[in-house]
Amino acid sequence: MMYVLLTIIAMIPQTEYLSFVDNEVFSVDGVLSDLTASVIIGPPLIGDAPLVIAHGGFSGLFLDSSYEAYIMAILETSLPNVIIWCDVQLTKNEVDMCFPDLKLDNTSDDAYCKNNKSKYLMNIVLTQGWFSIDFDFNDLMHVTSKFNIKPICYDPTSEYLSLIDNDVFSVDGVLYDFPVTASATIEKFLIITSEGASGDYPDVVGQRFQTKWLTLSVTEHNLSFTTFRSRYSVFNSLIVGDAPLVIARGGVSGLFPDSSYEAYTMAMETSLPNVISWCDVQLTKDGVGICFPDLKLDNASDIDVHYKNNKSEYLVNRVLIQGWFSVDFNFNDLAPVTLRQGVYIRTEKFDGTKYRILTVQDVANQVKPPGLWLNIQHDNFFTQHNLSMRSYIISLSKNVLINYISSPEVTFLTSIVARFNPRVTKLVFRFLGQDDVEPSINQTYGFLLNNLTFIKTFASGILVPKSYIWPVDNSHYLQPYTSLVLDAHKEGLEIFASEFANDVHFPYNFSYDPTFEYLSFIDNGVFSVDGVLSDFPVTASATIDCFAHLNKNDKPREKFLIITSEGASGDYPGCTDMAYTKAVSDGADVLDCPVQMTKDGIPFCLGSINLVDKTTILQSPFSNITNTDPVLNIITGIFTFNLNWDEIKSLKPAISSPWSGFGLYRNPKAINDGSFVSLVDFLIYAKSATTLSGVMIRIEKADYLANQGFGVIAAVVEALRNTGYNNQTSKKVMIQSKDSSVLKEFKKRSYELVYMIDDNIRDIESATISEIKSFASSVILTKNSVFRSEDDFLVGKTDVVQKLQSSNLSVYVQRFNNEFVSQAWDFFSDSSVEINNYIVGAGIDGVITDFPRTAATYRRNRCLGYKHRSLYFSPVETGGLLQFMSRQSLPPAEPPSPILTESDVVEPPLPPVAKITPASNADASPIAQSSVVAGVLTCCLTILLADLS
């Protein structure tokens, strides 16, 4: 059904007004008292209370579309579900702003721009004035508003009542310059009809406009112009039409101390505009409510330093706990106490800064979050200490708008349910572990999970650990999802998932990419939770806005190459058929093969010349042939040229876990999966993979191998010739080496020669670039050669990329891993944020990665197509985090990386291949096995694609 809100002039006579709504023939469905019309598609609102639409805020008294007008309409004078009206105008630089008229001089001061008057044809009428399209937004920062007409305050209560309570009909909404009067009238109307169905409040704007997501961004200063952004939600296809909420647990608590001012403000700056700030409420001895993440203050502050002798012992939920508790201190006693990071795997660099403990009012009034969620974890404990959390919350709600209140205690929520309007403040029951006992009614949370009908009697939603929805087994793999989300929605409950963090050990199914974990909760084709509670709201926000509902066939929005590092070596043992097929299905552009030589002269793909690094050879019959090689700086080694190809194929591959020292292992179920691949088999498979654009052949230690009697360059050339790469143009061939002497051997061939600079450098000389151009067309840099870091904090950006690209050299950067410990703190432990910084912030031409799926998904995300990109997909400010540290906490200065000189690049020619008696089975041909292995690769790809479909 379609209903219409009619717009009319504010001071129009009541008789004319009623002619549209009470003429015995027809009636419009609503009235907007202004100059434009709006057609809204939605369900009929028979019986619902009419909406109050505040035209430019409280524009009957304050300046139209000013900060004060909007705030007055929202906080002081209107119903909680008041709708804010914005007349959108565009500036010269395409900033959309809220202003009531196309002509700026009609309601603003023209004194600042006296000479900028223009003349335009508007609706066939030549109009003179000052127009927004003639000014950049920054030009308007000093322009102030003025009243176009003198406001006349009168009370049209009777007129409102005639429209909403006349025993015949009620309009669905009214737009007026005096929302306070309309609100008061409708409030009275609702009280009168509270027992009837018609007394219900209409749904919030997000549910009314099921496909539109509106955000109003206002400045903290008294500026006349307010920016306005409208974006269509991608969640219109879900059963519940709204995009999931992002709840920032204590702000960006994954980086800053939980519940600190900086954590909260950073969440607002880097998250969705409607991000909800989470506050764990504790009460002090004198009844002041503070935002603090734990009942024990010593868990996330330095209170034990200031009050060494004030340690206490209390019974909390039947467990005796020692520590420093808020009930032992008045709020003023906490003035010298500062917050610190309570999760010890996270950086402590911000602990030295004087982050004080905030009251709930501090968060509401100073941080001013778009939404506020208060969690009451221990009401029973505070009651035992003669502190009433109920009284505190009720009193607080008179001055602070609370959007959500959660608690794991049934009695607390039932004690306040009658005091809160669920359209304004939603109560949420928080589930703890299924075997934990709820303290107020002495039932396990697992028991309550099967009684959602009971939960519905006092709560609008539930907050559950994410394992309630996607269980995880003891080996950290996902189990089939439960029906909890569907059950909750069927019961009319919203459901929120908790315990999201980028720096925890989440299931191996997600390949250490937190975006994939979020997607499993909001974009799985079956259900979506209504919100996520996260320590890293930037990742949750980006997932919802940028990654949800992407199609694998969506075109890339950024042009850069995705080059594998030993295939998808983050998921399978590197350089195996499984790693390569996974990389192709994940969206890689270029497969790489680091070439090693066998004893019988067959080139094959393996990431190390030492079989100990990449295979299980030490558990094989060949374990007794270990030796030391001082030239290669290897103490315990069994080299690839010590075994022939058949012997190497008999070994099991071993997955590499470069961050195992932090307890981060890769896909244990596939630790030995896959088969080794000869170079010929690799090339045949890559040639048949239609989505690949090319191959990269890595050649290292060619001089060493030549002295051992192995001509690796000749073997590569022969393999390329035998597999037809010399006669085709569809697949790019890239030859990579850190030895210029190797690349010069391929100079006469039409390959892309890639020079790898594997050391960190801070600069490069012009003569060096010229020398590189004489033998290469591309360069590989380390990440630190682009963005310099110290102690895992970004401290600067080099201009090496710019210098190389200005000389027409493509730049690729290695190596991108998903494990959070591989990234600078500035990237919020999010691999997509890191990639974005190098692609958008540094403009590199490609990434070399162990996890091609992450890079390919990033390349398709919709935020890259936005004209005005959100902060969560804008490059981070280099050195931006240093400003939040005390001088004592700044990362220690490290010795500067060197400047790459010409002498670093110039090398003598490769030595001739030594003549050594070949092995007895040296006549084994790599071509002989090609069809077999290629068949295995094709089979693996078919199976993998079937699993993904």
- CA 690, 694, 700, 704 dihedral sign is positive
Q: 749-790, pLDDT tens digit by residue? A: 889 999 999 999 999 999 999 999 999 999 999 999 999 999
Greater pLDDT, 693 or 126? 693
Decide if pLDDT at 43 tops 60: no
C-alpha closest to that of 889 among 257, 297, 266: 257
The type of residue at 730 is S
pLDDT band at 918 (very low <50, low <70, confident <90, very high): low
Map tokens 């299931």 to a residue. 507
- Residue 86: its pLDDT value, please? 87
What are the distances in angstroms from CA 535 to CA 57, 102, 294, 349, 870? 34, 43, 15, 17, 19
Decide if pLDDT at 599 tops 80: yes
C-alpha closest to that of 87 among 116, 121, 56, 43: 56
- The CA angle 393-398-399, to the nearest 5 degrees, is 100
Distance between CA atoms of residues 515 and 851, nearest Å:
13
- Read off the pTM: 0.76
Q: Is 344 exposed, middle or buried (0-12, 13-18, 19+ CB in 10 A)?
A: exposed
What is the CATH superfamily name and number for domain 237-545? Answer: Phosphatidylinositol (PI) phosphodiesterase (3.20.20.190)
The type of residue at 828 is F
Greater pLDDT, 200 or 882? 882
What are the structural domain ranges in the chain? 2-232, 237-545, 561-905
Q: Could you tell me the two tokens for 176?
A: 């007026």
Distance between CA atoms of residues 99 and 89, nearest Å:
6
- Residue 943: its pLDDT value, please? 36
What is the CATH superfamily name and number for domain 561-905? Answer: Phosphatidylinositol (PI) phosphodiesterase (3.20.20.190)
Q: 55-86, pLDDT tens digit by residue? A: 888 777 678 887 667 766 665 444 566 788 88
18: alpha, beta or left, given left = phi > 0 and alpha = psi -120 to 50? alpha
Q: Determine phi and psi for 19, rounding to 5 degrees.
A: -65, -20
Hey, do 237-545 and 561-905 end up sharing a CATH topology, with the first three levels equal?
yes
- Residue 291: its pLDDT value, please? 99
- Residue 77: its pLDDT value, please? 47
- 614 CB contacts (<8 Å, ≥6 apart)? 573, 574, 575, 606, 607, 608, 653, 654, 656
Among the residue ranges 4-18, 460-474, 789-803, 840-854, the one predicted with the least confidence is 4-18
- Residue 104: its pLDDT value, please? 85
Pseudo-torsion of CA 664, 582, 856, 842, nearest 10°? 60
C-alpha closest to that of 494 among 597, 403, 558: 403
Q: Is 527 exposed, middle or buried (0-12, 13-18, 19+ CB in 10 A)?
A: buried
Distance between CA atoms of residues 846 and 732, nearest Å:
14
Decide if pLDDT at 930 tops 50: no
Average pLDDT of span 683-700:
97
